[in-house]
Structure 1
Amino acid sequence: MAVISVVNMKGGVAKTTLATNLADTLVRRHGRKVLLVDLDPQFNATQCLISPEKYVKSRAAGQPTIVSIFDDAPMAVSAVEGAKPQAPIALKDIKPWRIKENFDLLPGDLELYRLEMGGGQGREQRLKRYLEAINAAEIYDFVIVDTPPTPSHWMMAALLASDGYLVPVKPEPLSRTGIDLLRGVVERFSQNYGHPIECVGVVLTIVETNTVVYREAVEFLDKNPVWAGKRYAASLPKRVKLAKGQGHQALIFDLDDNDLKRGITGIAKEFAEKANG
C-alpha cells in the first residue's frame, strides 16, 4: 500500500479535482482498492462524491467523518442540557463511507475548523495511527489524501501519514513559484520530524496546450534541477463542464469528453507506477 498526499500551497490548481478523479480512475481502470481521505476543512472532495442530501442524512445517522479521527474529546450538544462530553470512537471502529466497490471515502467535515491542534498533543499523528488501526495496508492498494491549500497542522498530519506527495500545478507563473515554496515546507517538515517523504510527480492541470504559459511551465519544470523528471507526460485539460459537473457529483468518466478521459487515464497509469516504486 502507498499513502500519497495531493498537495499545493496555492488554491485554484484543481487539487481536489485531481485527487477525486485519480482515485476513481485507479478503481475503474486499474482495479485497485482506494481510500480517499478528505483532510481539507473545506471538504470539497466529499462534495464531489456525495450529494448534500446524502451527507446530511448520513451524518444524522451517526456516520463518522475526518473529525472523528482528530477529536479525542467530542461533545454531544442538546438544546436542553447544552454540551456534554462523550466517549471518543476508537480509531479501529471509525469506518470509511463506501462510494462504490473498491472505493471508500473518509469524508471531510466543516467542524474540523473548531479543533485546535497544538504541539505536543499528538493529534498530528492520528491519521497515521488510524490507518494502522484499521489495517489499511491489508485493505487498500492506495490511500490518497486531499490536503488544505495552506501550511497547517492538517497538512502536517497528512504528510506524517504519507509515503509520498503529488503536486498539481496550473501552468501560470504564480503556481510555479508556489511549488518551490511547497518544496521548502516539505523539506523542513521532513527534517523536523525525521520523516523522509518523496515527491511522486508533478501534474499539470487546467491546461491549454496552445498557450505560451503552458509551454513556459513545461520548460520550467523540465529544466529545473529540482523538478526535472517529475512532470507527468499526461495532463488535465481545462474544461468548464468539469467544474460544473462536480457540483452534481459527476467525475471525469461520467462526462462525454475523451480528452479528459485520456488525460486522467495517463495520469493514473504513471501514478500507479511511481507511487508503487
Structure 2
Amino acid sequence: MKIITVGALKGGVGKTNFTFNLAGYLSIKENKKILLIDLDPQGNLTQCLQLDVFESLAMNMFINQGKNIKELILKTEINNLDIVPTNIGMSSLEVKLFNEISRETKLMKYINKNKDYLSNKYDYILIDTNPSLNITNINAYAVADSIILVSDNSVHSLRALDIVGNMWEQISLDLEIDNNIKAVILNNFDTFSISKDFIKEIKESNLKTITIPQEIRKKQVFKASEITGIPVIKILKKDENPYFNIVDELEQKGVL
C-alpha cells in the first residue's frame, strides 16, 4: 500500500479534480483498491462522489485516535473506491490541534495504528488537502510516501510551487523525515502562449526533474466530472485522456 498526498498552495488549480480522476483511473482501469481521505473542509472530493455527510469523519483520525477505522470509511458507487469523507465541520480542526503534543504526526500515528487493516484492503491511499500548509496538511504531507503538487499555468501558481517546496524542505528537516515531494502535475492548461511560457519557466527551475511532462488541458478534462461523479476514464477515449500518460510517468518515478 502506498500513501499519496495531493497538494497545492494556490487555490483553483484543479487539485481535487486531479485526485478524483487519478483515483477513478486506478480503480476502474487498473482494478486497484483505493481509499480516499478528504482533508479539505470544503468537502469537494466528498461531493465529487455524490456523498452528503453530517459530520467530518476524517476529523476523527486526528482527535479520536481510538475510533475504529471501519466506522470512518464509506463505500462509493465506483467499484474499488472508498472514502473517509469530510465537511465544513473540519474547519475547527486547526484550533483543536493547536496545543496538542506531536500535532504534526497525528494522522501518521492513526494510520500506522490501523496499517494492518488498511494494507490488506487497499493498494493506495490518496489524500486530498486544502490549499495551504497548515497543521492538517503538514500531517497529510508527513504521512505520505509521495507528495504530488498540482499547478495551473499562472505566475502565482509557479510562485506557490516554489514557496511550498522551500517550506516543506525545512519542515521535513525539522520532523526528521525525507522530503517526499515526488511529482508536479501541470493542470488546466491551454494552447495560449502563457502555457508555453510557463512550461519553459518550469523546465528551467529546480522543479524540472519532478515535473510530469504530460499536461492536462482544459478541453480534455471536464469539470463536469466533479459535478456528475463520473471520472474522465469513463468519458474520454485513450488518445484524448491525459491520465494514461500521467499514470505511466508516475509509475516510472516510483510514485505509483
Q: TM-score scaled by structure 2?
A: 0.88
Q: Are the aligned partners of 1:235 and 1:264 in contact in 2 as well (CA < 8 Å)?
A: no
Q: In structure 2, do the counterparts of structure 1 residues 119 and 195 end up closer, same or farther at CA, with 3 Å as the change threshold?
A: farther
Corresponding residue SS for 1:195? coil
Q: Are the aligned partners of 1:2 and 1:275 in contact in 2 as well (CA < 8 Å)?
A: no
Deviation, structure 1 residue 253: 2.6
Is residue 2:254 matched to residue 1:272? no
Quote the Cα distance in structure 2 between the aligned partners of 1:106 and 1:245: 20
Corresponding residue SS for 1:127? helix
Aligned structure 1 segments of 4 or more residues deviating by more than 6 angstroms: none
Is residue 2:14 matched to residue 1:14? yes
Deviation, structure 1 residue 64: 6.9
Q: Are the aligned partners of 2:56 and 2:87 in contact in 1 as well (CA < 8 Å)?
A: no
1:232 partner amino acid: I
Is residue 2:62 matched to residue 1:70? yes
Instruction: Specify every segment of 5 or more residues in structure 2 that has no aligned partner in the other structure, as ranges.
Output: none
Corresponding residue SS for 1:201? strand
Quote the Cα distance in structure 2 between the aligned partners of 1:66 and 1:26: 22
Corresponding residue SS for 1:30? coil
Deviation, structure 1 residue 23: 1.1
- The aligned residue for residue 79 of structure 1 is none
Q: TM-score scaled by structure 1?
A: 0.82
User: 1:142-181, aligned counterparts within 5 Å?
Assistant: 142-181=124-163
CA displacement, residues 129-183 of structure 1 (integer Å, 9 cap, x when unaligned): 2222332233222211111101211111101211221011101211111100010
Give the total of aligned pairs. Answer: 251
CA RMSD between the two structures: 2.4
Q: Are the aligned partners of 1:253 and 1:261 in contact in 2 as well (CA < 8 Å)?
A: no
Quote the Cα distance in structure 1 between the aligned partners of 2:82 and 2:216: 23
Is residue 2:81 matched to residue 1:103? yes
Is residue 2:254 matched to residue 1:251? no
When Rg is computed on C-alpha atoms for both structures, the one with the higher figure is: 1
User: After the TM superposition, which of the residue ranges 143-152 and 92-101 deviates more from structure 2?
Assistant: 92-101
Instruction: Specify every segment of 5 or more residues in structure 1 that has no aligned partner in the other structure, as ranges.
Output: 73-87
Identity of aligned residues (%): 21
Corresponding residue SS for 2:37? strand
Q: Are the aligned partners of 2:9 and 2:132 in contact in 1 as well (CA < 8 Å)?
A: yes
- The aligned residue for residue 212 of structure 1 is 193
Quote the Cα distance in structure 1 between the aligned partners of 2:16 and 2:120: 26
Q: In structure 2, do the counterparts of structure 1 residues 244 and 93 end up closer, same or farther at CA, with 3 Å as the change threshold?
A: closer
User: 1:71-86, aligned counterparts within 5 Å?
Assistant: 71-72=63-64
